[in-house]
Amino acid sequence: MTVDVVIAGGGPTGLLLACELRLGGVDVVVLESLPAPTGRSKALGLSGRAAQTLDYRGLLERFGTGFVSAASYLRFAHLGGIPLDAERLMATTSFPPVVPARQAEVEAVLEARARELGAQIRRGHELTDLSQDEEVVSLEIQGPDGPYRVAARYVVGCDGARSLVRRRSGIDFPGTAATQLSRLGDVTLDEPGAVPLGMLRTATGGFATVPLGDGVHRVVTTEWGQDVDRDTPPTLDELRASARRVLGADVAMSQPRWLSRFTDAARQADRYRSGRVLLAGDAAHIQLPAGGPGMTTGLQDSANLGWKLAAQIHGWAPPGLLDTYHAERHPVGARMLSFTRAQGVLLMPGDRVSALRDLMGELLTNEETLRYTLDRLLGLDIRYDVGGSSAHPLVGGWSPDLALTTDSGGTRLATLMHAARPVLLDLTPDQRLREAAAGWKDRVELVAARSDEALDGILVRPDGYAAWAAASHDADVASLHGALATWFGPPVAGLQG
């Protein structure tokens, strides 16, 4: 028996991809080497485009922590240690609400959803080798009961920075080596009032503290030019010694819940697809975790890939659709790496960097510059070149969560996206767009609705991005047909409205 898709790695990226594929009717197996979740989390919240992505799948309501205001969350936002005064924008700018959910909570929610949808999650099963031909990928796996083999039509590597899938597929991972080493600890501060909150930069490094609740604080130190055996587990004494070198004074800390290290190494796979093997998340890109870009980017990789891979497997994908995964997501990953590299430079010591920080600090007093920076930090500025002749400004960008009225009552665009299917919103009085798109109703949800927005309609891809839109009284059926055919294949003859 051949499995449709095997996903190597059961972190947020792999688990969301499993959900997306199951919503697309694809059989999927997730291989996760860890026998149980660790409960550990670098990322501390869902914000920006990551939160919007999960909202469009109806998953945010599953987090028991609720929402916090963007202003509350963004008070810790920074650009390479330079505070970002987001509160200045709150009166005039809308940011998505933030879910203060740690990565471990995100994994728990996504794993539960993937299991609900019928995905096989195999914990304690490690991929040890793979090879592919024109028909299948052959996998060798070490499970709790010994080794076994599986054949899959496609394999997606979500197996992290040291991805075996990437290495076995001959995909290069170029980039820049580490110049700084950071140590992280979720600890109890014995004298919390004596330790500054937020980020502090000294002549010898960086120091940051973030309250996590229940008396626990996250402490992060950063030093330059250090080398350490990354395979040796970090210790509390190591974190204490680093804090002493950076601050020039002891920081009393105890009861470590978690200790870790990370660097500013930045690497990206030179291609996200090699035949029947694809990459997503940290297997495709690693970077300094400034602002939590790893989980945000990985979740969007999954949302972009899932529906395209499902279409390929079901046989209705237009030519080249699966290749648009690399074409769209590789530039996004490259731009994210550039952003985090710049932040790594701003964190470095020295008079030259201090002068650059002073300049950047002045530029960030400008509201337009500040908004641009926050949009990049939160992933809100992403646009794809979706082609077509529509010049509407929504095309290629995130589709706004419109408030809608249908014959069944009030709803939101986000609610219509829960099934991970494309949606054509027909907002014309005579529903002419729905009639014009009848040939695609087997693949596209055709929804007649009313809205206060000045639109005739909008065609939304399953990942939430607009493939076509038209202003009021400006809908061109030919351009709509072009967008439908480009992304969802030719119409089916004989389908009626």
pLDDT digits (tens, 9 = 90+) for 138-169: 999 999 999 999 999 999 999 999 999 999 99
- Asked whether the predicted pLDDT for residue 356 surpasses 60, the reply is yes
At residue 279 the predicted structure's pLDDT band, cuts being 50, 70 and 90, is very high
Give the pLDDT score at 68: 55
pLDDT at 34 over 90: yes
Band of pLDDT at residue 101, cut at 50, 70 and 90: confident
What confidence score (pLDDT) does residue 66 get?
59
Contact 471, 392 (CB under 8 A): yes
Task: Measure the CA–CA gap between 55 and 401, rounded to whole angstroms.
Answer: 10
Least confident piece of the model among 122-136, 163-177, 180-194: 180-194
pLDDT at 91 over 60: yes
**Percentage of residues of the chain with pLDDT beyond 90:** 72
Q: Which pLDDT value is given to residue 215?
A: 84
pLDDT of residue 142: 98
User: Half-sphere exposure (CA, 13 Å, Cβ side) for 122?
Assistant: 17
Given this model, what pLDDT does residue 25 score? Answer: 98
- The pLDDT of residue 246: 92
Percent pLDDT > 70 in the chain is 96
pLDDT of 206: 87
Note the pLDDT of residue 212.
Answer: 83
- The rounded distance, in Å, linking the Cα atoms of 396 and 382 is 9
The two tokens of residue 370 are 């500040």
Higher-pLDDT residue of 444, 80: 444
3.90.76.10, 3.30.70.2450, 1.10.287.3510, 3.30.390.30: CATH of 180-263: 3.30.70.2450
Domains of the chain, residue spans: 2-175+267-378, 180-263, 403-488
Tell me, what's the pLDDT at 72? 62
Q: Is the pLDDT assigned to residue 269 strictly greater than 80?
A: yes
Note the pLDDT of residue 65: 61
Q: Residue 310 above 90 pLDDT?
A: yes
pLDDT at position 76, please? 67
pLDDT at 204: 85
What does the pLDDT average to over 56-78? Answer: 74
Instruction: Output the pLDDT for position 4.
Output: 98
pTM, two decimals, is 0.94
Stretch 274-292: mean pLDDT: 92
Statement: 2-175+267-378 belongs to CATH 3.50.50.60: yes
What's the pLDDT at 275?
97
Task: Give the pLDDT confidence of 444-489 residue by residue, as tens digits.
Answer: 999 999 999 999 999 999 999 999 999 998 889 999 999 999 999 9
Q: Classify residue 249 by burial, with Cβ atoms within 10 Å: 0-12, 13-18, 19+.
A: exposed
Confidence of residue 496 (pLDDT cuts 50, 70, 90): low
Q: pLDDT band for position 86 (50/70/90)?
A: confident
Region of poorest pLDDT, from 234-243, 273-282, 354-363, 383-392: 383-392
Residue 115 pLDDT exceeds 70? yes
Higher pLDDT, 393 or 74: 393
User: Using 50, 70 and 90 to split pLDDT, how confident is the model at 71?
Assistant: low
Instruction: Read off the pLDDT band of 73 (50, 70, 90).
Output: low
Q: Is the pLDDT of residue 132 over 80?
A: yes
Q: What is the pLDDT of residue 174?
A: 97
- Output the pLDDT for position 131: 97
Q: Could you tell me which residue, 372 or 225, shows the higher pLDDT?
A: 372
- For the chain, the residue count is 497
In this prediction, residue 347 carries a pLDDT of: 86
Inter-axis angle of helices 103-116 and 12-23, to 10 degrees?
A: 20
Angle at 264 between CA 262 and CA 268, to 5 degrees: 105
- Spatial separation of the C-alpha atoms in residues 247 and 205, rounded to whole Å: 8
For residue 486, give the nearest of 387, 349, 359, 356 by alpha carbon.
387
Q: CA angle 15-21-23, nearest 5°?
A: 105
DSSP assigned state of 224:
E
At the topology level, CATH places domain 403-488 in Glutaredoxin (3.40.30)
Give the side-chain half-sphere CA count within 13 A for 491: 17
Mean pLDDT of 217-232: 84
72: three-class secondary structure by DSSP: helix
Q: What are phi and psi of 446, to 5 degrees?
A: -100, 110
